[in-house]
Amino acid sequence: MTTTLIRGATLPDGTTTDLLVADGRIAERGTAIATPSGARVLDAAGLVALPGLVDLHTHLREPGFEQSETVLSGTRAAAAGGFTAVFAMANTMPVSDTAGVVEQVQALGESAGYATVRPIGAVTVGLAGARLSEIGAMANSRAAVRVFSDDGKCVHDSLLMRRALEYVKTFDGVVAQHAQDPRLTENAQMNEGALSSELGLKGWPAVAEESIIARDVLLAEHVGARLHICHVSTAGSVDVVRWAKARGIEVTAEVTPHHLLLTEDLIRSYDARYKVNPPLRRDEDVRALREGLVDGTIDIVATDHAPHPEEAKDCEWDHAAFGMVGLESALSVVQAALVDTGLLGWSDVARVLSQTPAEIGRLAGHSHSFEIGSSANIVLVDPASSSAFSTDRLAGKSHNSPYLGMTLPGSVRHTLHRGYQTVNDGVVVDAGEVAAAAMGVARG
């Protein structure tokens, strides 16, 4: 196996160190480590080393929607963005609501090798919101599912949500709720307010999200279960989660990069690249979400990477699909919205994009502290670079990014997954090479 010496990286705490990676683990750290013979040397002067990023909310689309993304192409996108683990949402076709499907997704991830793929299981059969899926079978399968979500659809029935919260406790799992009251958002197209009224696009009121979160934190309190809220998007939601945490309710929350940077004003163009669920909100919401992340009300950033083919976006707004790709741009957007604005430091970034999502998802073997002996999942970032975001940066199948043409700071120079490189000098490593390296690690 390759031995890699990372020379002069700056850790999230600001200290500078060399890191020697061997056999998939961090073998040595310190200054002026001698180069072992045959070792690959990565010059990390000026680069920030972060623990491999973990995305708790990715749509890999396989099985069923391979024209948008596959496990292979989606994990390439992940690697390009500095991610070494992704949690794959259950809205595939067939839906990931059985042990068979989640094991298949897991196996596809293992053979591709670009990132650790942890399947998310559906809460209800077929995401239909009527009956619980075989949560135990998925939890006890080889995929060892711990996160359950009907993402894209809200578990709207109050009794079913209560049962799901209770039942998932049995397996140390968590329900990740897509908070959206379906009746209040029928055919909704964008955030409801003066702008939606002016543009004639059907409004998506903030209360449709906030009322579900309020109900669910109270349910979680009542049954003593863990609850995770997907993609919080409004100032009111931040208030509700803050209140719940102050009460001691075991709730965690995520925010997407796009909700931390973009606002509904972009929709004046009727450009469907900005169509997303939950919708882009007001400037006040963006500020409240940033504050929530800074004060710990919001625990993590998760991408909600949602690839779609060109024809799903190149059309009238009402007919376009919801969603944007986000894996490749997430770190740059977080840097723009939070680091360069002085709201977060790199150690906070490591926490919200790696440590805490790994904890919420019960990601085994994940380490964020660069200690000797830990699995070598590392991303090296150049925070001083800045460039116009282009399709060159996109490594997945789809190009539905809202950032194309926008100047963003930072770039991923190298990504190491379990000790082998998936990105080298800003270029995604060839699929064959990565698959071979992954097989080597699996054999030990």
Partner 1 sequence: MRHLLSTRDLLRDDAIALLDIAEDMSEVQNREVKKLPTLRGKTVVNLFFEDSTRTRTSFEVAAKRLSADVINFSAKGSSVSKGESLKDTAQTLAAMGADGVVIRHSASGAPQVLAQSGWIDAGVVNAGDGTHEHPTQALLDAFTMRRRIHGDAARGRDLEGVSVMIVGDVLHSRVARSNLWLLETLGAHVTFVAPATLVPVGASTWPVDIRYDLDAALAEVRPDVVMMLRIQQERMNAAFFPTTREYARQWGLDDERLLALRPDSIVMHPGPMNRGLEISSRAADSAQSTVIEQVANGVSIRMAVLYSLLSGDREARS
Residues near partner 1 (CB under 8 A): 192-201, 203, 205, 269-270, 311, 314-319
Nearer to partner 1, 137 or 207 (CB): 207
E strand or H helix at 196, and its extent? helix 194-199
Nearer to partner 1, 283 or 430 (CB): 283
Nearer to partner 1, 182 or 296 (CB): 182
Nearer to partner 1, 200 or 342 (CB): 200
φ/ψ bin of 428: left (φ > 0), alpha (ψ from -120 to 50), beta (otherwise): beta
Short-list 33, 35, 41, CA closest to 16: 33
> What residue has token string 């969603």?
323
The DSSP symbol for 92 reads S
Nearer to partner 1, 35 or 269 (CB): 269
> What residue has token string 């990715």?
58
239 is catalytic: no
φ/ψ bin of 30: left (φ > 0), alpha (ψ from -120 to 50), beta (otherwise): left
Short-list 339, 310, 277, 287, CA closest to 399: 310
C-beta of 240: minimal distance to partner 1 in Å?
21
C-beta of 150: minimal distance to partner 1 in Å?
27
Nearer to partner 1, 287 or 319 (CB): 319
- Please report how many Cα atoms fall inside a 13 Å half-sphere around the Cα of residue 91, on the Cβ side: 18
Where helices occur in 175-232 by DSSP H, the ranges are 194-199, 206-223
C-beta of 201: minimal distance to partner 1 in Å?
5
C-beta of 205: minimal distance to partner 1 in Å?
8
C-beta of 312: minimal distance to partner 1 in Å?
11
* Amino acid code (one letter) for 95: V
The DSSP symbol for 201 reads P
Alpha-carbon 195 to chain mean position: 29
C-beta of 191: minimal distance to partner 1 in Å?
10
| Spatial distance between the Cα atoms of 339 and 341, rounded to a whole number of angstroms | 5
Nearer to partner 1, 10 or 180 (CB): 180
C-beta of 401: minimal distance to partner 1 in Å?
19
Pairing of strands 48-51, 378-388: antiparallel
| Spatial distance between the Cα atoms of 336 and 342, rounded to a whole number of angstroms | 10
Max Cα–Cα distance, the chain, nearest Å: 67
> What residue has token string 């894996």?
327
200-225 in b/e burial notation, b at 16+ Cβ within 10 A?
ebebbbbebbbbbbbbbbebbbebeb
| Spatial distance between the Cα atoms of 231 and 204, rounded to a whole number of angstroms | 15
Among the options 304, 314, 318, 382, which is catalytic?
A: 304
- Residues serving a catalytic function are 304
